[in-house]
Amino acid sequence: MFVQIISGGDIYFPNLGIELHDVISSIDVLGYRVALYGIVIGLGMLCGWLMAEWTAKRTGQSSEIYLDFALIAILTAVIGARAYYVIFALDEFIDKPLSVFNLRTGGLAIYGGIIAAVITALVFSKIKKYSFWLLADTGCIGLITGQIIGRWGNFFNREAFGKYTEGPLAMQLAVQDVDAVYRPGVPVTKLQELYAGKTAALERILEIREKMVMIDGVQYIQVHPTFLYESLWNLCLLIFLFFYTKHKKFDGEIILLYIAGYGLGRVWMEGLRTDQLFLWGTPIAVSQLLSGLLVIVAVVAIIYKRRKALTLYRGRKLH
């Protein structure tokens, strides 16, 4: 067979009564393994570009400029997402530096992609003599669409989940399908070494290990599906931005609302996760810190810009 589907273990949502058996993890194409993680992210990028083009037409812009932008921004965003992850997870790559280029098993951080995309937009708009803020407003609709879909790559990769929970959306994953730190065979002393100075993260991992369940002779961890939380949060944010676009007061308002809304959700979700990236030598989750700062900056900018727009409007009325 030219294409072979490779399945992983079962995934359960016990409190919802959902059982997913032999959930696919990758496909084998002519002997080359392609992770579903990458396929889903690729699909998210495609849908994001289509959504940005549709939004451009809906708001009276030429859609061609967004194709040109997407062809560049998708590449730089992937590079940025990988660079961000590598920078804050250097210990993973010290002994195997060439694995930096292996994206099939995960290791893309969305904030790195966003930062790279914004830098790309600044340069692109300058060269094309196009409004950066208008480009950003339209592009972020595509970005969040890609995030909604792309987060499901984490589902198939069995990653980006949270701490132990007994809540209604609790998810059970076969222990052999997740990171080795959750497996009983890894000594606690090894975990203490890996998470030195990160007490909260260590406690969460130990709690997950202590509360594993046995189903049909297979051990499962039970955790928050934070990838699902983020996907649903982003869907709600997209719907809001979609309806708000026609009512915005200034160019740049949509991207600022996106930053504030996404950042607010990420502050909460990062507080649940067990696979956080930490600021060097500290127990501070770097994406949670960045999210909080971005929320503050975005809210202040929105207030300032709206007041400025209102002042200009009143000035025109007086004249």
Q: Which two tokens stand for residue 35?
A: 């992770």
Q: Sorting pLDDT into bands at 50, 70 and 90, what band is 274?
A: confident
Give kind and range of the element (H or E) at residue 198: none
30 has a pLDDT exceeding 90? no
Over residues 179-194, mean pLDDT:
91
21: left (phi over 0), alpha (psi -120 to 50) or beta: beta
Over residues 213-223, mean pLDDT:
95
pLDDT digits (tens, 9 = 90+) for 78-91: 999 989 988 888 87
Q: Sorting pLDDT into bands at 50, 70 and 90, what band is 20?
A: very high
Q: Indicate the range of 23-32, 145-154, 164-173, 231-240 predicted with least confidence.
A: 23-32
Provide the whole-model pTM.
0.90
Over residues 238-265, mean pLDDT:
94
| pLDDT at residue 318 in the model | 56
102 has a pLDDT exceeding 80? no
73 has a pLDDT exceeding 60? yes
Domain residue ranges of the chain, discontinuous segments joined by +: 31-160+225-318
| pLDDT at residue 315 in the model | 63
The CA distances from residue 27 to 6, 19, 21, 47, 253, in Å, are 5, 22, 16, 21, 41
Q: Sorting pLDDT into bands at 50, 70 and 90, what band is 92?
A: confident
- Do residues 219 and 212 touch, judged by C-beta distance below 8 A? yes
> What DSSP state is assigned to residue 245?
G
Q: Sorting pLDDT into bands at 50, 70 and 90, what band is 311?
A: confident
> What DSSP state is assigned to residue 285?
B
Over residues 226-251, mean pLDDT:
94
Residue 311 backbone phi and psi in degrees, to 5: -65, -45
104 has a pLDDT exceeding 80? no
| pLDDT at residue 300 in the model | 97
Over residues 275-290, mean pLDDT:
87
Cα(54)–Cα(72) distance, rounded to whole angstroms? 19
> What DSSP state is assigned to residue 125?
H
| pLDDT at residue 319 in the model | 56
Average pLDDT, the chain: 90
The CA distances from residue 102 to 159, 214, 298, in Å, are 17, 33, 34
Rounded to the nearest angstrom, the gap between the alpha carbon of residue 264 and the centroid of all alpha carbons in its chain is 13
